[in-house]
Amino acid sequence: MRTSVRIWVVVGLSLALSAWTAAAVLSRAPALVVSLPAVGMIWLLVLLDSGYLLGRRWAHRRRRRVSRTQREAWAPAPEVRRPIDYPNILPRPAGDTPVDQQGRYRATGIRLAVLPALAVMCLTVQTVFLEHGGDLGLGFVLAECLLLVSMVWTVWTSQEPSQPWVTSRIRAELFRREMFLLLTAVGPYLGRTDQEAGQVRDARLSLLAAAGPAELASFARLADRDPDGTERPWQDAVWLRGDNGEPGTTAETAERMRTYLDYRIKRQGLFFELAAATCERTEARLGRTAKAAVLAAVAVAVAYAVLLHAGRTDDGPSTTSAVIALLAAGLPPLCNMTLAVQNLFASQRLAASYRETRRELLEHEHTLRRLLAGPADPEAALRFRSLAVRVESTLTEELRRWRIIVAKTEFEAGL
């Protein structure tokens, strides 16, 4: 959904809620009064969902502006040849947008984390502030039931909720990997002529475009599988084939080294550096929110206990004690909600994985720079192909770790 459409949806629902509230207050019709809390909860959930997705887009644009200087510093020099300028290399075909898939997954997870807290708040408001036999009190009870049914329904019907996001990113990364396998003439392209490499490329890209999760996992292996099930690792094939896998002259090999250094190793390193920093900021914010909610819950619980002890009269609870009771009931679910969102984002584990991959890519970058500074001979070309397989192995391992971290068989409603 486009940003403008999403904004108009929120505006339209806000106007509908205002009209519903005005009609309920003026007419005092039981049906309008009873349904008012449920309508308010629906509006709040839509506002939360749309607000997160709109805020996500704003945050993405802001990160792009903040990191512009850093990205420009990593930009390849104009004389470095682009990967798509080499023979047989095609740009990645258009496909799903990983950011959109991630946004939808996380928006649903956040909504599920909020639902229990809203249900507790509805019950507390009905118990503390409203009469048990009133229409508005009945409305808050029905709103609580609606929230709980929505939570159970979403959990039951959203099996493998992260699969679209996981499949989208894995397919995108494997498309990108295929381009650099062809550039360095390793893996399925080792020792192929240009015509043979083009035929292998077309066949593999067709399989990749239609592959499901199981096929993508098999496609990600850095080995060829024989009909009898045995695997021949690409790293071994580089050294067994030796100089027969040379993609061209020594000058062309040096040119491909520079392209691979700038467009594969350095660009991927920049991505992991920026992603790790983003994850660390998210983890810090969620951690501070959870700690603040815990401290506030403890303070409110102590204050509520003092009021209960000091206010034992026949006059009933005061407004202050009622508000404190509402906070005492609502803050623990709020803390639980923050922890659930923290678990959903898994920012700490993702940041650790990104930092480790960044460190390994720096080691590969130093190795390739030494190769470029050395003599351009067949031995250097052989070592370059071997290094390319190691780099792709590092990136494939990061992709495997990422899938393990983010993949979920079903959403967790709270903790």
Per-residue model confidence as pLDDT tens digits over 311-366: 654 455 567 778 888 888 888 888 889 899 999 999 999 999 999 999 999 999 99
Distance of CA 351 to the CA centre of its chain: 12
pLDDT of residue 93: 60
Find out whether 146 and 387 touch, Cβ atoms under 8 Å. no
Q: Which residue has the tokens 């019950």?
A: 123
Reference 411, options 148, 107, 150, 155; nearest CA is: 155
Reference 361, options 262, 268, 256, 279; nearest CA is: 268
pLDDT of residue 385: 92
Residue type, 232: R
Residue ranges in 68-187 assigned as alpha helix (H): 68-73, 98-129, 135-157, 163-184
Tokens of 307: 């009021």
pLDDT of residue 319: 75
pLDDT of residue 353: 96
Backbone phi, psi, residue 193, to 5°? -75, 170
Reference 202, options 90, 61, 349, 74; nearest CA is: 90
Is this prediction's pTM over 0.85? yes
pLDDT of residue 415: 42
In this structure, the dihedral spanned by the alpha carbons of residues 389, 394, 399 and 401, taken in order and rounded to 10 degrees, is: 140
Residues of the chain with pLDDT under 70: 1, 92-99, 242-249, 311-318, 413-415
pLDDT of residue 364: 97
pLDDT of residue 88: 84
Instruction: For residue 36, give the DSSP letter.
Output: H
Backbone phi, psi, residue 313, to 5°? -130, 175
